[in-house]
Structure 1
Amino acid sequence: MTVDSAVEITRQAIVLSLLVGTPIMGIAMIVGLIISLFQAVTQLQDQTLSFVPKILAMVGTVIVLMPWIFGMIVEYTIELWHSIPGSL
């Protein structure tokens, strides 16, 4: 295994983790913004009011996107396994 192939494998892993994590973090940011606006309008300053909906939205997003996430991870793993004989 050369340094270039190790760097490429690491780059692909980082890109995959960003692709998988971006929708989940995006939903958390959107829900957090909505809850913050709601708290500013109603002047309710309860910590659980912002925490629980974000967690529920993130869990819901993971459940909805689970087939896509697993597909991306399996595709990367298969590609990684197929590249092993060429790296020896």
Structure 2
Amino acid sequence: MLTPEYAVEFIANAVHITAIVVCVLVVPSLLGGLLVSIFQAATQINEQMLSFLPRLLITLGMLVFAGHWILRTLSDLFIETFKQAGHLVG
């Protein structure tokens, strides 16, 4: 049966897993962008492509590097959700 406590736990778990997956992709890109910004400030090069391209490459690299883990984590979340769906109704 779906109780308020179980609903809160279920949503909290889904948000936690989603936040971890997003952080795996965003944090390296954020750090790369910070390094590029420091480099641009030090050299006074103001080129937009120089700030965009490294972040794009870092994000694509993280998708290649951690893509299998991300897909496995999200699929485990959805499989567990569908397994518990029958218990929630009755």
Written as runs of structure 1 = structure 2, the 5 A alignment for 1:30-41 is 30-41=31-42
For each residue in 1:12-63, what CA deviation from the matched residue of structure 2 results, as whole angstroms up to 9, or x when unmatched? 1110111101121111111011101110121101122101110111011011
RMSD between superposed Cα atoms in Å: 1.2
**How far has the Cα of 1:73 moved from its partner?**
0.6
Number of residues of Structure 1 aligned to a counterpart in Structure 2: 88
Q: TM-score, normalised by structure 1?
A: 0.89
Are positions 1:86 and 2:73 aligned together? no
Corresponding residue for residue 21 of structure 1: 22
Once the two structures are aligned, what percentage of the paired residues are identical?
Answer: 28
1:1-88, aligned counterparts within 5 Å?
1-88=2-89
Distance 2:24 2:81 in 1: 24
TM value normalised by structure 2: 0.88
* Residue identity opposite 1:18 in structure 2: A
